[in-house]
Each structure stands twice: as C-alpha cells, then as structure tokens.
Chain A
Amino acid sequence: MGGAAQASGGGYQLPVFPYRRPAELDGERKRYRVVVVGGGLSGLTAACDLASRGVPVVLLDEDDTVGVRGASSRGIVYAQKTLEIFDRLGIYPRIAEKGVTWSVGRVLADDDMLYRFDAARGSLSKQPPFINLQQFYIEWFLVDRLAELPAAELRWRNRVTGIELRADHVALAVETPEGSYALEADWVIDASGLQSLIRSTLGAEMAAELGEDRWCISDVRFEKELPAERWTWAKAAFNDGRAVWQHPMADGVWRLDYQMGPHADPRMIADPATVRDRLRRHLGECEVEIVWVGPYGYRTQLMKHFRQDRVFFIGDVAHVMNPFGARGGNSGVQDAENIAWKLAAVLSDAAPEALLDSYDEERRAAGAHNIHVTTRTIRFLAPRSPFEHRFRDAVLDLARRYDFARALVNTGRLSVPFDYAASRLTTNGGAAMPNLPVTLPDGTHGALSDLLCGPGAPFLVLCFPGAAPPDLSAGSARAYACGEPIGPLPVIRGEALRQIGKPGEVLVIRPDQHLAARLLRPEGAALAAALNKALGKEIPR
C-alpha cells in the first residue's frame, strides 16, 4: 500500500495518507493536551469532536489508510444519533450523498414476511433513522474534516509501543518508520480497538466471552434489483434454516451476512466455491461479484472501568458486542462524543476534573446495556437447547398470524442512544433530544445541533412560552426562547419544538444533545443548580 497515492481493494480506491516526520524526532519536547491513539471510527470521531471544540489534539495511527482487513465493510449501519453527531462535526452531507438512506425493515422466516417496520414514523430529527455506508468511507470523511481543523494533528504510521502513567501526565512511546520517540500528554484517549496494547499494558480488568456463533460476512455486487431496505431472516431455507442479513451499501455493494452452523470450520465458511453456492441459493441465478468475504466469530468484552487515571477507553477497546442492531460502531461514536465535550469543558475551565469521572459512569452503563440487548438477540437467533429452539419456533409460528408475537421476534434491536437518567449529571432527563429542524434566530433553517457547535462545550437552555427569562450571566450556556419571544432571548421556531417541551418548561440540553434537566418554571437558583450538576460540580473530588 505504502507510497502510492491510493490503495485499492475490492474495487474501491482508498486513500493513503502521508507519513510526516514528527518534530519529536528532531528534539522537540512539549506537553500535549490530548492524544488519541487509534484512527478508527471512534478515535477519529473523538479527535474531530475535540478539534471542533477548539481543543488541541494529536491522533496517532499505526497505519496510513482507512479501514482494516482489506476493504471489509465492517460497521455499515449508522443510526440517527450518530448521524446527528456527524452533522455537528460537518461530515453528514457527504455521508448522506454517498450512503444509502433507509428506514424500512422487513423481518422474515423462510418465505414468510413476519413484519415490516418504518423507523421514519414518528422521527423528529433532521437526520433520517439510518444510513448504510461502508465504515472506511466514514473514517475517510472524518480524516478529510480533521485536515480542515487547525486544532488537530494526524500522525500516520505512528505506532504506540508503550505507556506509562506519571503523576501529572501520561508518557507514550511511539515508533515511526524513522525511529522512536516519547510523547507526553495531559490526557490520552485509547481508541486502538479490540487488542489494545495500552489496555493490556495498564493491566485493566476486562470480562471477555467468546461466542460459539459463526457468521460469514459477504460484501457483494449482483445484477438483481432489490429494495433499499433492511431484510433479516430469523431463519432461511436457503441458509439451512439459519439467520441471514441483507443490507444495501454504497457503490452498489450489498452486505449479506449468513449465520453458520455451530462450530463451523472457519476455513470452509469463506471457501470461494461454498460462498458462491450460498449466494446462488440466496439470490438465484445472476452475475455476482465478491468484493470481500470472511468469517466472523462473535465475542463479548466489557472493561470494568472505562477510565484509568488520565486514560480513557472508547469504542472496541472498552466494549465489544455481537453486531446485532449496529450497536458497536454507533456506541463507539457516542463514547467519543461523551468524552470530547467533557474534556473540552474541563480544559476550558468550565467544569471541574470530576466531570471526567462521569464518562466511565455513563458510557460503561451504555456498554453494559448494549451487551445485554445484543445477547438477547443471539439467544433468539442461536437457541442453546432443543427446547429453546422449539420455543423460538412457537414465537415465529404465532408471529405469522398475530401482531403481538412480532414483538418477540428478535433479529436485532437497532441502535438507539442510551438514556442517562441515572447519571449523576442528570437532574430530570437523560434522554437524547432529537435533532429538531428549527428556524434559527437569523431566519435560516437549521437544527438544534447548529446551536451546540463549539468552541468549548456549550449547553443549551430552551425556554418555552410562559417561562421567565433565565439569568445566565455566569457560564457558557446559550439560552433561546422557543416559538415566542421571552425577554431579550433570541427566538427559535419550529413545529416540532412543541413535541419536546410544554409551556412554562425550561430544558437544559448538554453539549451531546442529551437532556440534563427538564424544569417547570424554575425559580431562584434551580436552573443554575441543574447546570452545575450537569457540569459535574456536585461530584465529590
């Protein structure tokens, strides 16, 4: 790959990013604010979010391109919350243009369609419920965006080989094609994936479980018209009674995942003749081009703590789950957003360091929840006993006839943002607020995310008619009146606003667009107290 301007694989042209000699190799020695290790989905998102908030960040990646394992599509379903984050970071338009927007899913058992859902129903966001896109494209767009942000520095072919926790900083040992150097940082975000060297070097505790379920992941092009929908078979005759996933992606490539028999031989799963035969049974006779194919064994991993001293663990380093419902990648992006605004708040002296403790609290709870949800799915798709199998079949049987049983058919519960109701930052709230389309005070059409852009980590205070104008003389909260003027506040308008707030209510929205507090006609210091709480000022040091 190295040297060429582009790397090719599976008919894709992937970028190659230039290695540049780090100043440290020529004697430079300075302390960096934040270093992100790993340029995958969550690491790039963290760097991009920090840089967009004006926080200087260095990202180290051992490779010099996007994607891994050739041109495997990896995470392909990007859910609404993730798309909203990418909207704030400025890459959403490219994702919408390149990817496949969808909202309709069908759940099948053999030849019967059990049910169909449309996730666009009731959606209040400016972003659609889902866009499918090969993961490396998202990573590519993030790299391009980072190049536009002066606070970000990307270092390709810089591999971390060691880490040491010091009293007031972290020391990293980094290896480049031209030699090794030491890098000092106030804070480190470890986004280096499943096999993190930082995690193992620090001896961080982790619960891990290898699943027995084996799948064959196939990225293919074919000459056959299929709808741009998510189709999942709880069982399919063309896959020997096992589960199948069918998703459209960019460039006319489809992602077809086939559940294999228990203890299937990994070598046979991706054997070309076997793969072609499987595709023929699924698609019928048509031209098929195999872009990428490989076996995939599911596993579950969860770190005991997502923070160790000055190091934060995000994405696959911290949690690995079965891929049902696209909860891995989407939750990694949300980890990144969560730590980014908190670091930005602390580094701009808007919040105490104790706020950073809430990263572990909030995102570990999200990770544990996602693992629980995906484990329920695997238990449905891969029954562990003959009885479980017969019970599952009873559900499928009922679902063919009655609506109620469809709720029991579990081919993956699609990623939704975690609710921080139990968080120590939350007064009354916790849920993610949809990215409502609104008319901004200057008359342009935008969305809530436009009001939450950096620098720093601004909070949003939305005042609904009947609420008194708040006193926000201290702090970085931005207050708006919703629908009608309130005192001197700038006004935002939009039909959907009444779906999130009632007359007299004041909503405190965090930089990650989660609701910190819903207050009814707050008096005295109630609003200030909620803002202080959301900034971690009540967390004991």
Chain B
Amino acid sequence: MRTEPNIPDADGIYEAIIAANEGLSDAQSEAFLLRFALLLANQIGDQQVLLEAIKTAREMVGGNTAV
C-alpha cells in the first residue's frame, strides 16, 4: 500500500469531495462514500493493496479485523 503523497492536487480533491457532499444528509453521504469506495477499489485492482487498505482503515477506527 502506497502511503507517500500520490494525489496530484490534494487540495483540489479534498475540495471536490466536500463539495459533492454539500446538502446531503448523513445517510446520503454514506451512500456517496460507499459508491466512491467501490469505484476506487476497481481502479486500484490490486487485491493485496485493497486488503491492506481495509485493514488499515479498520485499525484506525478501532480494533483489529479478521481480514
């Protein structure tokens, strides 16, 4: 899993995600993020990288996972 900076315009992406969620309820934002995550998972297309990203994200919000 790559952890060094890789997004060409980080501020621009942050801004775009915030903008895309403007006016959405929490439920809608969750729906957005789920679709966004699945679209990105397909772009990455590397099983090991995805599994590592899943594990890392889970660890950051608490606890270990069985992945």
Distance to closest chain B CB from A297 (angstroms): 26
Q: How many A-B Cβ pairs are below 8 Å? A: 17
B30-55 contacts to A, CB under 8 A, are 30-31, 34-35, 38-39, 42
A397 to B37, CA, bound (A): 13
Distance to closest chain A CB from B22 (angstroms): 20
A64 to B61, CA, bound (A): 60
In the complex, the answer to whether A395 meets B38 with C-beta atoms within 8 Å is yes
Q: Using a Cβ–Cβ cut-off of 8 Å, how many residues does chain B contribute to the interface with A?
A: 7
Query: Residues 273-308 of chain A: 1 if any B CB is under 8 Å from the residue's CB, otherwise 0?
Result: 000000000000000000000000000000000000
In the complex, the answer to whether B42 meets A394 with C-beta atoms within 8 Å is no
In the complex, the answer to whether A398 meets B38 with C-beta atoms within 8 Å is yes
B1-43 contacts to A, CB under 8 A, are 30-31, 34-35, 38-39, 42
A408: B residues at CB distance < 8 A: 38
B39: A residues at CB distance < 8 A: 398
In the complex, the answer to whether B38 meets A390 with C-beta atoms within 8 Å is no
What secondary structure prevails in chain A residues at the interface with B?
helix
Distance to closest chain B CB from A193 (angstroms): 32
B31: A residues at CB distance < 8 A: 390, 394
A397-425 contacts to B, CB under 8 A, are 397-398, 404-405, 408
Q: Using a Cβ–Cβ cut-off of 8 Å, how many residues does chain A contribute to the interface with B?
A: 9
B35: A residues at CB distance < 8 A: 394, 397-398
In the complex, the answer to whether A404 meets B42 with C-beta atoms within 8 Å is yes
A397: B residues at CB distance < 8 A: 35
A391 an interface residue at 8 Å Cβ cutoff?
yes
Most buried by A among B31, B34, B35, B39: B34
Residue of B nearest to A397 (CB): B35
A405: B residues at CB distance < 8 A: 38, 42
In the complex, the answer to whether A390 meets B30 with C-beta atoms within 8 Å is yes
A404 to B30, CA, bound (A): 21
Residue of A nearest to B43 (CB): A404
A408 to B34, CA, bound (A): 13
A405 to B38, CA, bound (A): 8
In the complex, the answer to whether B42 meets A390 with C-beta atoms within 8 Å is no
Residue of A nearest to B42 (CB): A404
Cross-chain pairs A/B with CB under 8 angstroms, 17 sampled: A390-B30, A390-B31, A390-B34, A391-B34, A394-B31, A394-B34, A394-B35, A394-B38, A395-B38, A397-B35, A398-B35, A398-B38, A398-B39, A404-B42, A405-B38, A405-B42, A408-B38
Kindly list the 5 A-B residue pairs having the minimum CB-CB distance in the complex, ordered from nearest: A394-B34, A404-B42, A394-B35, A398-B38, A391-B34
